[in-house]
Amino acid sequence: MTLSQRLKAQAYAAGFDLAGIAMLGPVEEAAHYDAWLANGYAATMDYMHRNVDVRRDTTRPKPGMRFALVVALDYGGAEPGGPVARYARGDDYHRLMWDRLDELGEWLRTEAGGKTRSYVDTGPILERALARNAGLGWIGKNAMLINPDIGSFFFIGALFTDVELEPDRPFATDHCGTCRRCLDACPTGAFAAPRVLDAARCISYLTIELRGPIPPELREGVGARLYGCDVCQEVCPWNVKFAREAREPAFKPRGNLGSNDARALADEWLAMDAHAYATAFRNSAMKRARLDGLQRNAHAVLDNLRGPGNEGPADPPAGA
């Protein structure tokens, strides 16, 4: 076996579901990203405007690196839907994937010397474009990376290295065809066009990234979703057919986060103080929304469950 084949075998042995190797360099999708920013589709996520030049070329985040092992870790798309998006119900994936990638980096340095650097949503990298370049799938109309064997319910990570490796062929074909189920199913009409997501209308953005009140015209579309949204993935035929149950123990739902009872979960969050919140969401990706954000979401969902004309007191502005 070549070094590249052995490295990918090590990645599968570490528990990753997909592994491929990409040569670093100019990013084919960079122009699409520039247009996305220019149209204001990043909403209030100012950090997406930083280091744009670096994002256009994957050799720039860590000078001297020439190749990347790109991996995917499934988080269980076949698990039942609910008010909390599937990816966020268990432990924070960042630390788990970093540790495994760092172990792979140590293995590679032992075998071949050189340098490595692990990334899991932690650098100015267009991860889905890099994963497509490593042969892991195509970017679907819902802007998610879709793999023909396991769908799209997975996290992406990368191990950059200056060690010479054999790159896999980029995934060059598009298997969405004429299907537009994801575009039509979005409760808030967040897709400006195929593969163009307007974050300002996306439920995941509204319930996680947004600081401040959810716009009144979008609150009804949020429905009973307290944190994140899986709709555009749930309806995708590739997930309907190939999504798996969660196999990684760390991704099993903690507490009541796997519950389908949005009302009970909302009431639980509204009763939390800072200490209870810190305890309940220790090592959870859901801390990104902060307590005030979760409670804002809880108010919105409870109002939706009450129905028109029965709204409760206005929710306090998150981030105030």
Task: Say if 209 falls within a structural domain.
Answer: yes
Residues 141, 188: one domain? Answer: no
> Domain range holding 189?
181-235+256-306
Taking CA atoms, 186 is separated from 142, 208, 240, 320, in Å, by 9, 17, 16, 29
Residues 72, 145: one domain? Answer: yes
Q: What is the DSSP letter of 317?
A: P
Residues 185, 135: one domain? Answer: no
Task: Say if 128 falls within a structural domain.
Answer: yes
Task: Say if 51 falls within a structural domain.
Answer: yes
Residues 88, 221: one domain? Answer: no
- Domain closes at, from 133, 161, 189: 161
Residues 187, 140: one domain? Answer: no
Residues 135, 204: one domain? Answer: no
Structural domain count, the chain: 2
CB 16 within 8 A of CB 71: yes
Question: Of 53, 74, 92, 121, which is the active-site residue?
Answer: 121
Task: Say if 72 falls within a structural domain.
Answer: yes
Residues 120, 47: one domain? Answer: yes
Residues 94, 213: one domain? Answer: no
Buried b (16+ CB within 10 A) or exposed e, 297-313: bbbbbbbbeeeeeeeee
Residue 5 to residue 175: CA distance in whole angstroms: 27
Q: Is 68 helix (H, G, I), strand (E, B) or coil?
A: strand
Task: Say if 152 falls within a structural domain.
Answer: yes
Residues 195, 136: one domain? Answer: no
pLDDT in tens, the chain (320 residues): 999 999 999 999 999 999 999 999 999 999 999 999 999 999 999 999 999 999 999 999 999 999 999 999 999 999 999 999 999 999 999 999 999 999 999 999 999 999 999 999 989 999 999 999 999 999 999 999 999 999 999 999 999 999 999 999 999 999 999 999 999 999 999 999 999 999 999 999 999 999 999 999 999 999 999 999 999 999 999 999 999 999 999 999 999 999 999 999 999 999 999 999 999 999 999 999 999 999 999 999 999 999 765 555 545 445 43
Task: Say if 170 falls within a structural domain.
Answer: no
Residues 155, 185: one domain? Answer: no
Residue 100 to residue 90: CA distance in whole angstroms: 17
What's the token pair of residue 180?
Answer: 């537009």
Task: Say if 249 falls within a structural domain.
Answer: no
How large is the angle between the packed helices 93-112 and 3-13, nearest 10 degrees?
150
Whether 303 is a known active-site residue: answer: no
pTM: 0.94
Residues 153, 8: one domain? Answer: yes
Task: Say if 35 falls within a structural domain.
Answer: yes
In terms of C-beta density within 10 A (0-12 exposed, 13-18 middle, 19 or more buried), how is residue 274 classed?
Answer: exposed
Residues 197, 144: one domain? Answer: no
